[in-house]
Amino acid sequence: MIRQMLILTLCSLLFAVARSDTNYRLNTSIVPSSYSIAITPYFDTGDDKAFTFDGEVIIKFITESNIHRIKIHSVDLNFNASDINISSGSVSVKLNEANPLEFDKKYDFAYINLESELIAGYEYELSIDYNGPIRKDLKGFYMNHYYQGGVKKWLGATQFESTHARKAFPCFDEPGLKAVFTLIIDRPASFKPSLTNTKIQSTVPLANGYVREIFYPTPRMSTYLVAFLISEFESVTTIKNGDNEFGVYTRPEAINQTEYAVDFGQKIVDALGDYFGIDYYSVDSNLKLDHVALVDFDSGAMENWGLVKYRESLLLYVPEDSSPYYKYRVAQIVAHETTHMWFGNLVTCHWWSNTWLNEGFANYFQDYMTSLIEPTVGAADQLVIGSVYAAYDADEKSDAVPITNNVVNSPEEISGHFGTITYQKAGSVIRMIHHFIGNDAFKFGLHTYLNANQLQPSYPENLYAGLEEGVATFNSLSSYPGYDLTSVMSSWISQAGHPVLHVEVDHANSLVKLKQKRFYIDPTKSSDELYKIPITYTTSNAPNFENTKPSFIMDGETYELSVNLTEDTWIIFNVQETGLYRVSYDVHTWQLIFKALKGTKREEIHYLNRAKIINDLFAFLFTGEIKFAMLYEGLEFLHEEKSYPVWYAAVRGLKKLRTMYIGSETLSLIDAYSLKLIDSAIKNLGYEVNPMDDYDTLRNRMQILDLACQLDHQGCIDNAAAKYKDLKENGKEISPSLRSVSYCTGLRLGDGKDYDFLWSRMASTNVANEARTIGDILGCTADEEKLRSFLVSTQVENSPILTQDLTVPLSSVLANHSHVSLVIEELDKNLALWKSIYPSFDGVLSSIATALHTENEFDTFDSWLSSCEECGDEAVTKAKTSLAAAKAVTSWADNHNLDILATLKGSARIVTSSMFMILSGILWAVCAL
């Protein structure tokens, strides 16, 4: 899709550069060595201390130059000059009498002004007594609650990544400033022992009804990894090899849902330790590894060293109620967070500009390692259809940033850098390098990197040096003279975008001409980036889709390759999509590939390459490189296709295409075409779950039926509606893999009572991923009164829509385009209420703008935005940028309408003519009798 017009892109880039303010950085000469942090929480005490906490922090540090001022991070913490003490040995350091303490709320700093200088090289101790709120926004030190036997239970949890430690204790809150942390937690005596990064060292009962727990010092680590939990949670805990503690903690009523996490979690930490050559527990004897399922958690999960936190739906799994997706998702995210114990915790990016050093490896190993120890959940394929496809989508825009992004300073910019480029694109580049240098060199290089940089902040150059050691040890680049690991990998890390490889085959002379250029979804864009591309290919002469070792490196704009070819030999590049590049062929080569796909040897072409062909064809359609007729021909083989990844590529492409034509008369033809394609898949898969179905079959049926029912496929609707009715009237549970489509169909065909039925089911279920499944589809209802209530359902007392799911109602309702006008009407009518629900209005307005498709909708919302004084200038600006992108989508659809109509109507005439001939033959035969 065309996402940005040139002028808007330039403006947004200029705006991004202009707002990148380096004053958010500490730029301090102070180097902390240790923290002691004492926390005393007060929950529902019924007095003015309720939901606040007292804290004391003691920081030991040196300064590398003489300074008159200590600059430290602090947000919403209360202290004054009398609460501060500074000393060096027995010598006290006095504060400046006239101006001892200043707070800069814009930059999150407290300035402690001194009467005399701190001297470079001396160790100092800074202590601050303070208090603060136990927050409600799931940031810093925040409150949670749940019900147990009808009784409300409170807990206190933390989420410090990336800039929220400063909301729980004054600190030097940057990842490069590592230190050792000792935590002291006073908890109510009725609570279970608190949890932090390390084991409990000692326990002391206090006279005030609290228990003080002192924890062992942590390894040297960053502030964002400090964590604690004060609760009544229970656990399944195992102790291996004497002192190696592993546990999964949750609210007591969900403790029976932890079996899968306990089993997989222990397997993955052992497997990763073996792969990286550093046993997790060997880092520090007082480290343990606890995984905690929280009722309400802002991130999907967080890799705090020794105390990993998750949303319940991403750690707890119940086979009877959880869809197959969640079995994969739990394994994937546990693997992701456990990988961080090495990449992120043991070795940490020096600054958030290189977040990929943490997240790129976690993204890669979440699926790579899961595929090795839990192969039944399809993680190996997700490396492509999950990460690579997502990377393409984010990286094809003209405003895409490099993986290493130096324009990252403010908390907002830091948060924004935790996205697809940092996770999926970086993970895909790491996967490409793995295939490039081979497994032996890769493993050795990672071990070298981790071992050399453990407990230190790191830079990309440190990683390259480690991998170069692996390459040298195994001589793994001997086939590529003149190339080194650093130059190849850095060409992908330091510049934005990815290439498309144009392939032109001269069969007569057995010559293949290659040309690379950066791929943009907007065809008006161009630039001169060149990438060092590891090239893989195979031909129909001797098809080999298992060899993913690159044949050569292409670093120039063009390359000529001699290959033994005949006139009917196909050639396919990027084997198993191990490289991060799209591939476009000349027309004759496309025709040869299409012929092979429709032939009896279709499966000689690896299913990931069959999927790639589809995914690339859709991309080339959206960028205008091919006509719809070519895509149409390229998809014909789907009538015989059974592979889940191949259908995944097709379904996502068809959904994107139909989204572009919402509000247009062409949509009905696209839907009819899509139904024709998927009908054979429905016949092959059926509507019922078979006990012998594997993971791919279950997920394939899920995605096919989801699209089929959206397109009003009668068999799908009848079957899904029957299942829903049987559940509602007879209590017969629906197979987890079919619940989403059945629930949505029941809502579409039903009324307000059906909404109430599923709302009640969501509110009463004890299984978090079942609750999330229902929340995601409640917007399917056609009852306008229920839609209005759902949009503000977080305001319902004890609402099952939690803070972590704040945007779920809006997204669910906007998923149906017919609800757009109702959303805008409710926004206008209840603006004050909506602003009280959403802490930031940016995403709300942009989500609505993105859902619009007609000129009338554009004009109405544009006018509303211009008149909304309460919305805020930045939110309106972002929404208008999203509105322009939505208009560009509609413009693309208008420009390509005739092309698509010509193909689809031509196809309809062919089908009609063929059917007429068949019927004529039947009638002639009958008459002849």
512 and 364 housed in the same domain: no
Decide: 589 and 505 in contact? Cβ < 8 Å: yes
pLDDT band (50, 70, 90) for residue 239: confident
165 and 248 housed in the same domain: no
729 and 668 housed in the same domain: yes
Helices 607-623, 587-598: crossing angle, 10 deg rounding: 140
197 domain residue, yes or no: yes
The predicted-structure confidence for 269-325, as pLDDT tens digits, reads as follows 999 999 999 999 999 999 999 999 999 999 999 999 999 999 999 999 999 999 999
pLDDT attached to residue 13: 36
- What does the pLDDT average to over 335-357? 98
204 and 249 housed in the same domain: no
869 an active-site residue?
no
| Strand, coil or helix: 908 | helix
Say which residues have a Cβ less than 8 Å from residue 415's Cβ, sequence separation at least 6: 162, 163
380 and 513 housed in the same domain: no
845 and 806 housed in the same domain: no
Decide: 232 and 192 in contact? Cβ < 8 Å: yes
Q: What is the CA radius of gyration of the chain?
A: 29
Residue found by looking up tokens 């590398």 in the block? 64
pLDDT at 17 over 80: no
pLDDT at 7 over 80: no
Q: Which two tokens stand for residue 229?
A: 């939990």
Q: Where are the beta strands (DSSP E) in 254-314?
A: 289-294, 301-302, 307-311
β-bridge mates for residue 458, sequence order: 349
> What is the maximum span of the chain, computed from C-alpha positions, in angstroms?
116
Residue found by looking up tokens 């136990």 in the block? 134
363 vs 13 pLDDT, higher one = 363
Last residue of a domain, one of 613, 636, 654: 613
482 and 527 housed in the same domain: no
pLDDT attached to residue 907: 64
- What does the pLDDT average to over 389-414? 96
- What does the pLDDT average to over 349-370? 98
- Of 196, 101, 103, which is closest to residue 141 (Cα–Cα)? 196
pLDDT band (50, 70, 90) for residue 4: very low
Decide: 127 and 121 in contact? Cβ < 8 Å: no
Distances (CA, A) of 470 to 358, 448, 532, 893: 20, 8, 20, 50
Annotated binding site: 336, 340, 359
β-bridge mates for residue 215, sequence order: 200
State the first-to-last Cα distance of the chain, in angstroms, to the nearest integer.
57
Helices 739-749, 752-764: crossing angle, 10 deg rounding: 150
The dihedral through the CA atoms of 581, 586, 589, 595 has a sign that is positive
pLDDT attached to residue 747: 98
152 and 46 housed in the same domain: yes
CATH number of the CATH domain containing 518: 2.60.40.1910
CATH number of the CATH domain containing 204: 2.60.40.1730
CATH number of the CATH domain containing 273: 1.10.390.10
- What does the pLDDT average to over 865-888? 94
Please count the other Cβ atoms lying within 10 Å of the Cβ belonging to residue 523: 12
213 and 65 housed in the same domain: yes
pLDDT band (50, 70, 90) for residue 350: very high
834 domain residue, yes or no: no
Catalytic annotation, pick one of 174, 213, 312, 337: 337
The predicted-structure confidence for 506-536, as pLDDT tens digits, reads as follows 999 999 999 999 999 999 999 999 999 999 9
Annotated binding site for Zn(2+): 336, 340, 359
pLDDT band (50, 70, 90) for residue 19: low
CATH number of the CATH domain containing 658: 1.25.50.20
Q: What are phi and psi of 217, to 5 degrees?
A: -60, 145
603 and 627 housed in the same domain: no
pLDDT at 849 over 80: yes
Supply the DSSP symbol for 397.
S
224 domain residue, yes or no: yes
- Residue 794: in which H helix or E strand, if any? none
- Of 478, 612, 450, which is closest to residue 553 (Cα–Cα)? 478
Q: What are phi and psi of 512, to 5 degrees?
A: -115, 120
858 and 918 housed in the same domain: yes
Q: Which two tokens stand for residue 406?
A: 């130096």
pLDDT at 917 over 80: no
The predicted-structure confidence for 806-839, as pLDDT tens digits, reads as follows 999 999 999 999 999 999 999 999 999 999 999 8
pLDDT at 738 over 50: yes
50 domain residue, yes or no: yes
Q: What is the 3-state secondary structure (H, E, C) of 814-867?
A: HCCHHHHHHHHHHHHHCHHHHHHHCCCCHHHHHHHHHCCCCHHHHHHHHHHHHH
For 401-437, give the DSSP string.
Answer: PPSS-S---SHHHHHHTSSTIIIIIHHHHHHHHHHHH
298 domain residue, yes or no: yes
- For residues 133, 137, 138 and 144, what is the CA-based torsion angle, rounded to 10 degrees? 70
2 domain residue, yes or no: no
- Rounded to the nearest integer, the mean pLDDT of the chain is 94
pLDDT attached to residue 338: 98
The predicted-structure confidence for 52-96, as pLDDT tens digits, reads as follows 999 999 999 999 999 999 999 999 999 999 999 999 999 999 999
Last residue of a domain, one of 446, 462, 492: 492
Last residue of a domain, one of 590, 613, 636: 613
219 and 254 housed in the same domain: no
Distance CA 813, CA 787 (A): 7
The predicted-structure confidence for 574-622, as pLDDT tens digits, reads as follows 999 999 999 999 999 999 999 999 999 999 999 999 999 999 999 999 9
- What does the pLDDT average to over 436-461? 98
Q: How many CA atoms lie within 13 A of 847 on its CB side?
A: 19
Q: Where are the alpha helices (DSSP H) in 310-419?
A: 324-339, 356-373, 379-382, 389-395, 411-416
pLDDT band (50, 70, 90) for residue 841: confident
Distances (CA, A) of 5 to 253, 425, 672: 52, 24, 31
pLDDT at 922 over 70: no
Decide: 109 and 74 in contact? Cβ < 8 Å: yes
- Of 255, 382, 390, which is closest to residue 327 (Cα–Cα)? 382
Residue 161: which domain range? 26-232
Q: Which two tokens stand for residue 505?
A: 């085959």
Decide: 531 and 499 in contact? Cβ < 8 Å: yes
Say which residues have a Cβ less than 8 Å from residue 121's Cβ, sequence separation at least 6: 62, 63, 64
Instruction: Count structural domains, the chain.
Output: 6
10 domain residue, yes or no: no
